[in-house]
Amino acid sequence: MFVLIWATLLFSVRDTGASVGRTPFCFNSFCITLSEGEISAEAGLCVVIPCSFTTSYYFTPQHIVWYKCEPSKQKCGDSDIIFHTNKNNNKTQSGFKGRVSLLEPDVSRGNCSIIINDLTESDSGLYQLRVNGYLNQKTDGFTFSPRATVSVKGLTQKPTVMIPPLTEGQQSTLSCTAPGLCSGSDPEISWTWRGAGEKDSHITGNITAFRTENLTAVSQRHSSTLTFNSSAEHHGTNVSCKVSFTNNITTEETVTLNVTYVKEVTVTGNTSVKEGETLILTCSVDSFPPSLIKWYTSSDRNMQNGTETNLQNNTLTDPRNETETFLQEKNKMDTLVISNMTTTNSGPYICIANHLNNTLVKKVDVTVLYMRKCVITGDTTVEEGDALNLTCSVESFPPSHITWTVLGSNTNLHIGPDTHLQNNTGSATLVIPNVTAEHSGQYICTAQHLNTTVATYADVTVTWISTVLKNSGCEVQSEVLTCVCISEGVPLPTITWPLLKIHTEYSVITTVSNHTVNSTVTLTVKDHSNTSVECVSSNQNGEVKANLIIQLKTSEQPAKSEMVLNIVSWLEVIIAFLIGVLLSTVLCCLAKKCHRKKQKSFGNLDESLEMVTSQEDPLIAAGQAAPDLNGGPQDVEYASIDFSLLKTKNPRTAAKNQETTETDYAEIKKEVKEEIEDNGGEEGDGLEGKDEEATIGDDEEIEQFVPEEEEGEDMAVYSNVKDIMGEI
């Protein structure tokens, strides 16, 4: 027992940091052995003052007394007693009661070592020993002069926390052992759990247990255990073990928990990207220790179809091999970057995470959003009465929403009594049964894809067989036949006239307005009685024939064409008259020189002229009366005069030509005057005298209109300028 106590004593001294070197100090056979130097201790724990003594042969020790003296005192007194083996002694300081005890209760063994528990810094000082007993059968005692020095400082020792390997889902036990092998009273041990950035809090829902283990009679080990179910929430958190001693002396130790765990693989990023944009996917795994993560693409059809397959049977390709792919590897994550995405990049992408002996797989489907042009299929040209069937389709992902509208209307076509709209995914079919001409127009297909809208157009034409309108017909005026045929149809009809096959001279005028053709044919016919004209109108849908009835046009007013001709004739007369006046003025100066020659010519002419009145072809103007030769005078008379003799100088030649020359007529106006009757002249004389004068004047004009190089030829001769204008 003594050996065990000393072993504990030595351990305690070493634990407190005290020196174990001891040198006996003797006086008159009384010897004491104390530790040299200062005995260090920490508040809240205990301190052991090793001590042994011997006395003279004549002294019998009975009690041991320890003092705590001030350095200034040479000798300690009763007021300084901190420990006395005599329980009846009431002089012990109250602050040390119950805190000091002998390591060896048997005083006769010479062991004076004491242990002081629940130290405070005020316990620092000098400690002195006194042994009471009997000397020669008398009560006596001996106080040893050497003193032991004890220094108590603040508690610096930490609890010892033991953490086993922690695995998520398994039960784990943590242990915390209080510092020191002795303390006196049992300390209080508590556990606190601190999350990241959180305040301290007690771990709830777990079991804690306190245990005291007696190592020796004077030494103990105080510990606490914490049992809980480990989870990923505990990983990276701090757990503190706090030991509280008497006098509010505390110490604690904080450790970080490392829990082995692995969560599910997660992929972040937009798995739907537009064509030409960049794909950025990040694969991460919350685990400890960190997992090794890699990206792969799979060509396995089962995986593309979403069927679970064994990973070893898949054909995996590392996207790193692609030139436009970049991987950014970090702990717990791996980022896949593919620029300029195309439709070929669509498909499954696989993230594989290796954690210890586990392999985790995460598959995501990447879709490339795209849109192609709108395409309209179907026949845009339909016959009237048939069905219009147009389909608008757009290759895109996701499928586009397609609507049909008609130009000029903002309302979408929908299912109605005459319209059937079949709108499937990515396409829309427009069906209009029994179309009419009103359904012709521009139909618009609009495709809405995400935030993009595109449109395409189809021009629908409804065709119908041509028809001949009722206002077609023919009319005849002055043996001129004019026929008009008016026809409507889509496509534009062509009008033909079978009548023209037997005629070589005709004119055809064709005009077009919208869907109407107007064809007008004009030709000359002699016999139009009981005759009809056929008009043939045809297009790709067929042809129709119409018999046009000929009508005779009667009108008292001249036709417009005749009026135009009359106007032109009068313009010619006026121009000729002006030319005649101009020539008369020029030739006026030559009149005297030619006068004699003209008289001679007219003398010969008088001999050859033969005037014969004619009643066969009277040209009596309206409002004029022929003169009555046997009765009263008349204003105008007509005579048949042969002017052929004027065309030659030889009367014989003229007489010969007269037989073959047509008779011209001249208008001779006789002015009956009273002077003729008074003079008693005959009407023939008066007429000759007037005619000669008139003939001379007229001959002057005739000379102007008959050139010399044309002499000898038959040519009409007029009596005066008025007659010339009238003939023109």
Q: In this predicted model, which residue has the larger pLDDT, 650 or 241?
A: 241
Alpha carbons 465 and 489: distance in angstroms, whole number:
6
DSSP code of residue 237: -
- Read off φ and ψ for residue 718, nearest 5 degrees: -110, 150
pLDDT in tens, 210-229: 888 877 777 788 999 988 88
Please state, as a whole number, how many other Cβ atoms lie within 10 Å of the Cβ of residue 381. Answer: 14
pLDDT at 638: 40
CA distance 113 to 90: 21
List beta partners, residue 225: 175, 209
> Secondary structure of 345-366 in the HEC alphabet?
HCEEEEEEEEECCEEEEEEEEE
- For 363-412, the three-class secondary structure string (H helix, E strand, C coil) is EEEEEEEEEEEEEEECCCEEECCCCEEEEEEEEEECCCEEEEEECCCCCC
* Torsion sign, CA atoms 197, 200, 206, 208: positive
Contacts of 609 (CB under 8 A, 6+ apart): 641, 642, 645
- Give the predicted TM-score (pTM) of the model: 0.51
Q: How far apart are CA 120 and CA 107, in angstroms?
A: 28
The arithmetic mean of pLDDT across residues 199-207, rounded, is 59
What pLDDT does residue 517 have?
Answer: 92
pLDDT band at 329 (very low <50, low <70, confident <90, very high): very low
Q: Domains in the chain and their CATH numbers?
A: 2-153 (2.60.40.10), 160-257 (2.60.40.10), 262-369 (2.60.40.10), 378-464 (2.60.40.10), 469-552 (2.60.40.10), 585-727 (no CATH)
Looking at the predicted structure, is the pLDDT value of residue 99 above 70? Answer: yes
Mind listing the pLDDT tens digit for each residue in 278-316? Answer: 999 999 999 999 999 999 987 543 333 333 334 434 445
Mean pLDDT for the stretch of residues 198-216: 68
Q: What is the pLDDT of residues 441-459, one digit of tens each?
A: 999 999 988 888 999 999 9
Is the pLDDT score of 551 beyond 60? Answer: yes
Average pLDDT over residues 37-47: 93
Which pLDDT belongs to residue 156?
A: 94
**More confidently predicted of 234 and 623:** 234
Integer Cα distance of 711 and 646 in angstroms: 9
| pLDDT score for 654 | 39
Which two three-digit tokens encode residue 333? Answer: 């994550």
- Encode 432-467: b = buried (16+ Cβ within 10 Å), e = exposed: beebeeebbeebbbbbebeeeebeeebebebbbbbe
